[in-house]
Structure 1
């Protein structure tokens, strides 16, 4: 048996290969094994953790907003991810949402989204061209006492900005764990689950900085403990950084 925990990473059937490979690399560097989850053939995959990755817009009808004209929404992928998220919440499966994934987590909890942050928060200089998006950085503030703050170990963070939408009305059971200066949430989490965090930025594209690698290390650590508990392992098999079935955030950071 592969000793590495299995982390499922959602993606569309076509496209977003670079992001998937970057997430897979981050998981591998943290000691996990990434498997691709597409809208066909995902139900039989046994998971120890889940990443809801970025991509196309969440369907606005889910938060009672009119869809964009002539926009191609990925309904099969969205249905898969909502089913996976429901399963993850029911089983306390460690879950990380990235960009679109964080937005979907919020919508699934009854929240809504800003459809166009550039127009809504003008004149905030959100970059539009992909080349500028890759190099642009903005500062966000982390909320003390949150899981994300404990994992990353800092109160200020410079992140990328590759999104056109963002969390608006917060979903039930969620907490904002990071905001940018204009108030837009940049991270959300559930305190009633051990590891259920969504980030608006793309940490997989910032792996050259240790602080972002910590997020994937914490995910894999949580996945190891989930796997040990699922297999009914003895207390000695629970990874370091865990205490009484719960993650000791300060040790794992």
Structure 2
């Protein structure tokens, strides 16, 4: 695929991950940081888009201007979603999530839908979509789902994987050109009750929901639990046109069609 000229690239807004003030952190002691995981930005660029980081500037107007100027919204991975947003208390303190980042990303999601921007969520991003549309999550899969697979292993991280079965008539199946995938798995939380209008389009062998989507003339939303940006071909010696890259190309195609 020939590289698009810069002004032709769809602008993909990526709300920043937040690192809050920490007086014990050796770098930027006591300062709040905002960042994007590099492979996510590279995935957008290599697929033909321009990644644009959306910053949390503590004002809704700033988020709206940023979202309105982009052709799509991409929600990246990271911290747990605060269970209070779906009417629960944390079963353990470490599952309390990041309520500040949640509110920032819920605003971005709401505004993207209001402006009819295609929304693609990865891992935490899929969970933000689900909770933002009124759904709920398993706070911890292995604690709450009997017989579930191990979906996250800190020591093996993106090396751990499992199969995923896709609904044949879904956008996800078309984007990956398959009804069965072997995916990485780096999440300990997952969709429990799907949000309003969301269709379940992929499950792991243990029944855990791995992808949701809602595609109409009025809105375009897809969320996947795995990390396609980490399946970019670099694991086999370079940025080849891997299935992960094909999926980002398909998403950018949607952004081009709808902008």
TM range (shorter): 0.7 to 0.9
| Contact 1:117–1:165 under 8 Å retained in 2 | yes
Q: Name the counterpart of 1:2.
A: 7
Kindly report which structure 2 residues correspond to 1:10-159, keeping only aligned pairs within 5 A, or say none. 10-14=15-19, 20-40=37-57, 41-45=62-66, 46-68=69-91, 70-71=93-94, 73-126=97-150, 128-159=152-183
C-alpha distance in structure 2 between counterparts of 1:128 and 1:196, whole Å = 25
Whose RCO is larger (CA < 8 A, sep 6+)?
A: 1
| Contact 1:26–1:213 under 8 Å retained in 2 | yes
Kindly provide the CA deviation profile for residues 73-112 of structure 1, in whole angstroms up to 9, marking residues without a partner as x. Answer: 4333222211111122222211100111101111111111
Q: Name the counterpart of 1:203.
A: 228
Give the 3 Å change call, closer, same or farther, for CA 88–128 of structure 1 in structure 2. Answer: closer
Kindly report which structure 2 residues correspond to 1:186-201, keeping only aligned pairs within 5 A, or say none. 186-192=210-216, 193=218, 195-201=220-226
Q: Name the counterpart of 1:220.
A: 252
Which segment is superposed worse, 77-86 or 36-45? 36-45
C-alpha distance in structure 1 between counterparts of 2:110 and 2:98, whole Å = 18
Which segment is superposed worse, 19-28 or 118-127? 118-127
TM-score where L is the length of structure 1: 0.82
Kindly provide the CA deviation profile for residues 3-40 of structure 1, in whole angstroms up to 9, marking residues without a partner as x. Answer: 211101122233795x6211111111111000112312
| Contact 2:214–2:222 under 8 Å retained in 1 | yes
CA-based RMSD: 2.1
- Structure 1 gap segments, 5+ residues each: 228-253
C-alpha distance in structure 1 between counterparts of 2:165 and 2:151, whole Å = 20
C-alpha distance in structure 1 between counterparts of 2:52 and 2:250, whole Å = 18
| Contact 2:151–2:187 under 8 Å retained in 1 | no
Q: Name the counterpart of 1:248.
A: none
What is the SS of the residue equivalent to 1:130? coil
